[in-house]
């Protein structure tokens, strides 16, 4: 390991604090868990995790700095991500009761949910900003291999995010099961899930920076 124990502890503490505060990824995972059950929520978590790994690779190769340095590229990705979340919200609101009330199952549906999770995180330039602004603070050039230090910290953050998001998915999916047999409550869940995704898209377009 190229990272000092002190830097590692400080980074893990700071990352844990950031992960505890719900952000776009958590909101997306919770909405999927409420709408389509724990399995869909956990698959969404995996998608978010894979998207984070792409950001880790980009930060390691220096692409995050390139993204942030280009205002046009940043704004383009930002609004594409916001539009995609709004699209998912509208699609959820327009789904039928029979379609929405069934938990996600089958390889095709789960693969689609996985891909959506990846896209949600890939089209979130705030994640790139996180790796650019937060990670370098814990890199010690004196220890050498700065690139490998960034990679190690990025993988640690991705794993921590995967664990914390999984807790949210299980908790939200378990709570949703208690309302699954009540049609009126289920329609309310659908409206909340769809509305949350739309609100998340709007927030992503107009809010400040937060990685998770």
Angle at the Cα of 58 from the Cα atoms of 1 and 86, rounded to 5 degrees: 125
8-48 tens-digit pLDDT = 888 888 888 778 767 778 888 988 888 788 888 999 999 99
DSSP states of 41-80 as a string?
Answer: HHHHHHHHHHHHHHHHHHHHHTHHHHHHH-HHHHHHHHHH
Candidates 95, 129, 98, 135; CA nearest to 8 is: 135
Question: Residue 99, Cβ neighbours under 10 Å: how many?
Answer: 10
159-192 tens-digit pLDDT = 999 999 999 999 988 877 766 555 566 677 677 7
pTM exceeding 0.75: no
CA distance to 38, 114, 145, 179, per residue, from 48 (Å): 15, 8, 27, 26
């Amino acid at each position: 390991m190229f990272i000092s124990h002190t830097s590692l502890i400080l980074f893990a503490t700071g990352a844990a604090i950031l992960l505890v505060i719900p952000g776009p990824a958590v909101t997306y995972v919770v909405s999927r868990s409420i709408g389509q059950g724990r399995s869909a929520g956990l698959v969404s978590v995996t998608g978010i995790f894979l998207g984070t790994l792409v950001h880790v690779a980009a930060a390691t190769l220096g692409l995050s700095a390139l993204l942030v340095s280009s205002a046009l590229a940043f704004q383009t990705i930002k609004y594409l991500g916001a539009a995609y979340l709004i699209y998912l919200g509208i699609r959820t609101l327009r789904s039928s009761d029979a379609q929405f009330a069934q938990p996600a199952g089958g390889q095709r549906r789960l693969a689609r949910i996985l891909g959506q999770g990846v896209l949600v995180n890939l089209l979130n330039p705030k994640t790139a900003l996180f790796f650019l602004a937060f990670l370098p603070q814990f890199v010690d050039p004196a220890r050498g291999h700065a690139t490998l230090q960034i990679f190690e910290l990025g993988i640690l953050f991705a794993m921590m995010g995967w664990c914390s998001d999984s807790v949210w998915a299980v908790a939200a999916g378990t709570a949703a099961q208690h309302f699954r047999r009540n049609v009126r409550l289920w329609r309310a869940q659908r409206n909340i899930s769809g509305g949350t995704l739309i609100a998340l898209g709007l927030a992503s377009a107009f809010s400040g920076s937060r990685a998770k």
